[in-house]
Amino acid sequence: MRKVLTRKKIHVKKGDLVEVISGKNKGQNGKVLEVSAKEGKIIVEGVNVSTKHMKPRQQGVAGSIVKVASPLYSCKVMLVCPSCNKKTRVGHKKDEKGIKKRLCKKCEKLF
């Protein structure tokens, strides 16, 4: 029997401004850098930052400590509406040309 891979539906896209609503980074804002639909996780700029120790790759070069943004589950963030600047749920609606767009549930504007 074949294993069926299901793709999780994620409500944010790369480049969106989001706010963290739960966890240790609650209240922080940032831009979505990367989306992994298979895992259901996203990477947000400046949020959930961890330190990573890098070994020296060449002789004579010192090792270093680098700050890296770690992924977090997409259910822990809400989209910030570009027009009203409030965190909101996302709806969908067709515009005048019949193209499906996202809708802010607070101010009812398409984006």
CATH code: domain of residue 73: 2.30.30.30
pTM for this prediction: 0.82
- Is 34 inside a domain boundary? yes
Note down the domain range covering 85: 17-55+64-104
CA gap 102, 36 in Å, rounded:
20
Residue 71: how many CB atoms within 10 A of its CB?
Answer: 16
- Is 3 inside a domain boundary? no
Structure tokens at 71: 């992924």
- Is 85 inside a domain boundary? yes
- Is 46 inside a domain boundary? yes
- Is 90 inside a domain boundary? yes
Structure tokens at 94: 């067709």
CA gap 33, 12 in Å, rounded:
11
Total tally of structural domains belonging to the chain: 1
Task: Going residue by residue through the chain, which has 111 residues, state the pLDDT in tens, using 9 for 90 and above.
Answer: 666 666 678 999 999 999 999 999 999 999 999 999 999 999 999 999 999 999 998 888 899 999 999 999 999 999 999 999 999 999 999 999 999 999 999 999 998
Asked if residues 12 and 40 have their Cβ atoms less than 8 Å apart, the reply is no
CA gap 81, 103 in Å, rounded:
9
